[in-house]
Amino acid sequence: MRRVLTVLLLIGCIALLGWAVLTGWNPVPQATGSAGSVEAGESTRAPDAGASGIPAGATPAVVRYVHDGDTLFLEDGRKVRLLGINTPEIGEVAECWGDQATSELRGLLPEGSTVWVLEDVEPLDQYGRSLLFVFLPDGTNVNVEMVRVGAAEIEQYSPNWLYTDELHDAEDAAYADRVGLWGQC
């Protein structure tokens, strides 16, 4: 009887494993930073980029004004919150490295410059801001660049998981090298 139960258990485990492989089910979610984990079926893959490095689906926009290290305004009236990152605050509630993060983003996105923007799954946040990845004409992902230079840290929320791997690689390197806020705050 024990052999029969052992064989049945083994067959059940093999069947479950086969089902998991066929459906892509992963019982252990991938870590994605302080704000959550990747849900089954959600993509973290970057969209295919053309020869310029601009991802498919990105649209052109013109920068009107950079407010702080993770918020800007476009000429078409959209207020943009950069996806996947958070920078220290400025103004009355100033935090360490907030002014430097704002200066960094203003250097990357001067007023009047043309950029390319890309939504993830959820296009707006609770305040009506457009949630976007911003790309320079050479294909540089500004969101990732802000993390790479130590001006921002990762902050991602479901269901927006694009560029998770790139953001984590940038943050790991910035932290290891103690650049920007990682070396000063």
Which percentage of the chain shows pLDDT scores above 90?
Answer: 71
What is the spatial distance between Cα 173 and Cα 108, in angstroms, rounded to a whole number?
Answer: 20
Domain that holds residue 10: 1-27
Q: Which residue did the predictor score with more confidence, 24 or 72? A: 72
Mean pLDDT value across residues 72-79: 98
Query: Do both 90 and 10 map to the same domain?
Result: no
pLDDT tens for each residue of 21-30: 343 433 333 3
| Domain annotation covers residue 20 | yes
What is the spatial distance between Cα 90 and Cα 151, in angstroms, rounded to a whole number?
Answer: 13
Distances (CA, A) of 41 to 83, 124, 132, 162: 20, 21, 21, 13
Q: Provide the pLDDT for residue 141.
A: 98
pLDDT bracket for residue 44 (50, 70, 90): low
Q: 68 pLDDT exceeds 80?
A: yes
Q: Provide the pLDDT for residue 50.
A: 72
CATH number at residue 114: 2.40.50.90
What is the spatial distance between Cα 24 and Cα 16, in angstroms, rounded to a whole number?
Answer: 12
7-11, 26-30, 75-79: range with highest mean pLDDT: 75-79
Backbone Cα Rg of the chain: 21
Query: Do both 4 and 79 map to the same domain?
Result: no
| Domain annotation covers residue 52 | yes
pLDDT bracket for residue 8 (50, 70, 90): very low
Query: Do both 7 and 74 map to the same domain?
Result: no
Write out the H or E segment, with its range, that includes residue 117.
Answer: strand 114-118
Model-wide pTM > 0.85: no
Query: Do both 105 and 130 map to the same domain?
Result: yes
Query: Do both 156 and 74 map to the same domain?
Result: yes
Query: Do both 114 and 151 map to the same domain?
Result: yes
Which percentage of the chain shows pLDDT scores above 70?
Answer: 74
| Domain annotation covers residue 3 | yes
Query: Do both 20 and 90 map to the same domain?
Result: no
**Residues 162, 47 contacting (CB under 8 angstroms):** yes
| Domain annotation covers residue 34 | no
Query: Do both 16 and 53 map to the same domain?
Result: no
Q: Backbone dihedral region of 109: left (phi > 0), alpha (psi from -120 to 50 degrees) or beta?
A: beta
Q: Mean pLDDT across the chain, nearest whole number?
A: 84
Query: Do both 4 and 56 map to the same domain?
Result: no
Mean pLDDT value across residues 40-46: 53
Split into its structural domains, the chain has a count of 2
| Domain annotation covers residue 90 | yes
Query: Do both 130 and 163 map to the same domain?
Result: yes
Instruction: Give the residue among 95, 66, 58, 98 at the shortest CA–CA distance from 82.
Output: 66
What is the spatial distance between Cα 153 and Cα 86, in angstroms, rounded to a whole number?
Answer: 5
Residue 127 identity: Y
| Domain annotation covers residue 37 | no
What is the spatial distance between Cα 150 and Cα 181, in angstroms, rounded to a whole number?
Answer: 5
